[in-house]
Structure 1
Amino acid sequence: MTILIDNKEYLLDKQYSSFGEIINEITKKLKGEDKILEKIVVDGVVLTTTSIVDISKVSLIEIYTKSHRNILFHSLYLLEEYIEEYFKSLKALEEFELEEIAYDMKMNEILSFLNWTLNLLYSLKENTYVDYLYFGYNEFLDDFKESYNSLIKALTQEDYETAFDILEFEISDMLSLLSENIENYKNDIILEEQSSNNSN
């Protein structure tokens, strides 16, 4: 049986009796290289979560990976689109164009987006050098988290006026600033990824 990880042959440390054990070993190896599994192909067939593999009949396992930086790079593309949608949603809320149920749904979409954005900002800090490259990044992250928590508190207390002020005057400004820096963040991630690949 041959195992290829990103088209490079990988030799197992020992014999394994199950496919799951092999994947566990490979996953541990990838973790040490700051990579995660993206796709597994067994004898030319892409595996799904419901696939059952009889290891005795397998001749070729192909593993394709992504680095955390690669995932963050694609997330930043999504962030650009989501920020545009955020401002459209905010305008709809501001103009009272929505029925109560639609209003609540739109607000929940905004909250989900802001939570996702906060997690992305933390992931950028943990997996790149963004907090070293950009003066004030940590303060920006703290401010974003504080505004997000204040928004949650206001909504919990049904203080919608305060909640909307936070969205309009705090979070919107921060998202605009973030939007201006996305391209720089993506370029930095590309450079870090290239540097990492060259050192391997």
Structure 2
Amino acid sequence: MKRRGYVAALGASVASLAGLTAFAKPDLLLTLGKGTRGTGDDVSVTKSIDGEEVSYLEETNEVRYPTAYAGGEPQRYATEDFRTWAKRRSAPVGSTAVLSTIEDRLAVPVDGVGKSVGRRVLSTVIFVEYLLPREENGYPPDLSFQKVASATPRTVHATVVLEGKQYTRAVPVIARRSNQGQPN
């Protein structure tokens, strides 16, 4: 019985320490896993979501959006709190600015570099994927991973706007080597 109490106390201590570390230094958790945090200046991007299919419901502060289509037309809709919906949409919106920013900063085409949105421990992040092998796939060998990582923004500030209501989120960016879509 003493052993169970000890194990429970140890587990609670580790969880508390991890939580405190995450709260005190959230960037520390981003260093776990493969890849390098971007070192370039932050960038900002704003996207207005417009169209008849998605609408903001001011009375309830919710978003109505289609969940099922038939024949190219929406058949079913769902609603979600605006903040929750916008938070989910912000990382993909932020990812649209990453590759063009890197290309502008390096002043060369960034063939063989992609982007994706994923998770790193407790955070949503944008990954810059430096694709390997370079020469076999016809990618420019002189575009080194270090050059890409140094031109990668540290953070993208993504703003989503729907019918005048807006939400901005800071999304960290991590550059990593990727071998045929798998982190290397």
What TM-score do the two structures reach when normalised by structure 2?
A: 0.27
Query: Relative CO higher for 1 or 2, CA cutoff 8 Å, sep ≥ 6?
Result: 2
Answer with 1 or 2: which has the greater Rg: 1
What TM-score do the two structures reach when normalised by structure 1?
A: 0.26
Q: Which has the higher helix share?
A: 1
Q: Which has the higher strand share?
A: 2
